[in-house]
Amino acid sequence: MVTINDVAELAGLSKSTVSRVINHYPHVSQEKKQKVYQAMKTLGYVPNSSARSLRNKKTQMIAVIVPRLMNPFFGQLIESMEVAATEQGYQLLICQTMYSKETELGHLELLKMKQVDGMILASLENEWETISEYLTYGPLIMCNEFEEDANIPIVKLDQIHGGYIATKHLLEEGHRRIAYCSGGHKSMVAQHRKLGFKKALKEYGLEFEERYSFLDAYSIKDGMRVFHELNQMEEPPTAVFTGGDEVAAGLITAAKENGVRIPKDLSVIGFDNQVVTKIMDPKISTIEQPIQLMAQQAIKVLVEKIASKQDPQKERYEFPLKLIVRESTGRSPLRAVE
């Protein structure tokens, strides 16, 4: 193995000078630096610190796995995690799965290879049985997306309540034909929201209608597509639960372009309270998700698990959601005469 002595010899400099260069100490001339770097390169020398992965030392790095960063919900989640991780002295590596099982497993290898001290899963592509095998290598926690049976900490939002209060608001405005949009099929976040949606319907003696259900709704473009589909229905819905502010923004844009007035003809409720809700005309009613609190808690819990080195435990942390009524929801046109 190449040592620092070999580098010093080839560079024609003292071992302490080489050490100063490697550790970025000040007051080393550019010329000496170049000599050291050239010698390191020629010999293929890697500073000792990179041997840490084999010495079971901590890397002070955390990885977080998300599906897509283009979704502003995850952009905000990552940003809050970044701030919290830095405060705790950890570096955050961000990994996208693009909804691929294989890519997710590739990212989990970071834990196996000891390149990170712990990992936060903000999305789940593989079965928990597959993912749980990686617990051997370090702590894993879930944040946002979840698997109820997993014997690890989960930091999440109360999605059942979120689905419930959004739908209840529409029902209270007299709407009875309410379209339901959602993204993932497997996602527990989506399943819980749907439970909340159904719970509210049930209180009004209504059942979930498949004809008003729209899947794969994630983006502004998807919102536009949903509008065109529901606009062609014989008995179109008078309100839409979109499951996302971007979907709501797309739906409203398409509606306006087609002369459908929001909220007079059609009420639209978003989900997330992203900044897009405040720049749309009309401004979008939505459900506020306390993303920052959830992100901070996730970092706090993971850092504790890294420090304690105990076996993972089933811990649950849940944050509440809040209805924000703006301009995109109003009285049902079918009930306006009452």
Q: Would you state the structure tokens that stand for residue 223, as one six-digit string?
A: 């919102």
The C-alpha atoms of residue 208 and residue 57 are separated, in whole angstroms, by 53
CB of 117 to a second copy, least distance (A): 13
Helix (H) or strand (E) holding 239: strand 239-241
Query: Residue 5 or 115: which CB sits closer to a second copy?
Result: 115
Q: How many whole angstroms separate alpha carbon 64 and alpha carbon 141? A: 10
**Closer by beta carbon to a second copy, 221 or else 228:** 221
Which CB atom, from 73 or from 164, has the smaller least distance to a second copy? 73
Question: Strands, E, within 43-202: which ranges?
Answer: 61-66, 91-96, 118-121, 140-143, 154-157, 178-181
- Residues 6 or more apart whose CB falls under 8 angstroms from that of 270 comprise 242, 244, 245, 247, 248, 249, 277, 284, 285, 286, 287, 328
CB 297, min distance to a second copy, A = 20
- Between 233 and 275, whose beta carbon lies closer to a second copy? 275
CB 211, min distance to a second copy, A = 27
Helix (H) or strand (E) run with residue 213 in it: strand 213-214
Nearer to a second copy, 163 or 263 (CB): 263
Please state the closest distance from residue 110 (CB atom) to a second copy, in A.
8
Q: Smallest distance from the beta carbon of 149 to a second copy, in angstroms?
A: 14
Please give the distance of CA 167 from its chain centroid, rounded to a whole number: 24
| Minimal distance, residue 267 CB to a second copy, in Å | 18
Nearer residue to a second copy within complex by CB, 136 or 232: 136
Residue 237 contacts residue 230 (beta carbons within 8 Å): yes
| Chain positions contacting a second copy, by CB under 8 A | 24, 30, 33, 37, 40-41, 44, 46-47, 49-54, 56, 68-70, 72, 75-76, 78-79, 82-83, 86, 91-96, 98, 100, 103, 106-107, 112-115, 129, 133, 135-137, 219-221, 249-250, 252-253, 256, 275-276, 278-281
